[in-house]
Amino acid sequence: MVVKLLYFSAEWCGPCNTQSPIIDEIKEEYEDEIDVNKIDIEENEDVSAKYQVRSLPTIIVLTEDEDGNEELQDRFVGVTQKQDIEDSIKSAL
């Protein structure tokens, strides 16, 4: 099982600029445990549509099994505290 964090943002998004450093910290601290993917919604409209991203920033924590089946663990919309994201990651691990 793999734990993934999908971070949806855009360069023009003010709240995303606040959230991005937190995501960078999490990526560094959990690099051996989870996959962190930063996704620019303007460059990846298909991925944004797949996960029904309607507001920014959006953070999705999910698990993926060996067969590629995904299970949503958490969805955060808006600027989210690091501790809340970490709690979600720890419960998914």
Phi, psi at 78, each rounded to 5°: 95, 175
Q: Report the catalytic residues.
A: 13, 16
pLDDT, tens only, 38-69: 999 999 999 999 999 999 999 999 999 999 99
**In sequence order, which ranges of 1-93 are alpha helices (DSSP H)?**
14-29, 45-50, 82-92
Locate 10 and state its tokens.
């855009």
- The pLDDT score that the predictor gives to residue 34 is 97
**Domain limits of the chain?**
2-92
3-state SS class at 90: helix
The reply to whether omega before 15 is within 30° of 0 (cis) is no
Label residue 5 by pLDDT band (50, 70, 90): very high
Sheet arrangement for strand 58-64: 34-40, 2-9, 58-64, 70-77
Fold of 2-92: Glutaredoxin (3.40.30)
Q: What is the pTM of this model?
A: 0.96
